Amino acid sequence: MAIIRMKELRKMSEKELDEKLSELRKELINARTKIASKVNPDNPGKIKEIKKTIARILMLKGEKKIK
């Protein structure tokens, strides 16, 4: 999963944001499962980036909801 910038997220529709959010949450669960089963993750910084991207999407959805 590459870094997704706010500029790219703002261009996405509501449906695309929902799909990306569910995809990221699944990725986060898989990464956490690897750590819990004592398998070294492929990229340790990936979890942090996934969490940040999820937060960006949720913030953007909140902004759109207010408008």
Q: Would you say residue 3 has pLDDT above 90?
A: no
Residue 17 lies inside a defined structural domain of this protein: yes
For 26-46, letters b (16+ CB in 10 Å) and e give ebbeebeeeeeeeeeeeeeee
Above 90 in pLDDT, residue 56?
yes
Please give the Cα distance from 19 to 62 (Å, whole number): 16
Residue 1 within any structural domain of the chain: no
- Domain limits at 51? 6-66
31-48 pLDDT per residue, tens: 999 989 988 878 888 999
- The DSSP secondary structure of 6-53, one letter per residue, reads HHHHHHS-HHHHHHHHHHHHHHHHHHHHHHHTTPPPS-TTHHHHHHHH
CATH of the domain at 34: 1.10.287.310
If you average pLDDT over every residue of the chain, what do you get?
90
* 22 within domain boundaries: yes
Would you say the C-alpha torsion 62, 60, 26, 19 has a positive or negative sign?
positive
Domain contains 44? yes
For the chain, the domain total comes to 1
- What's the pTM value of the predicted model, to 2 decimals? 0.87
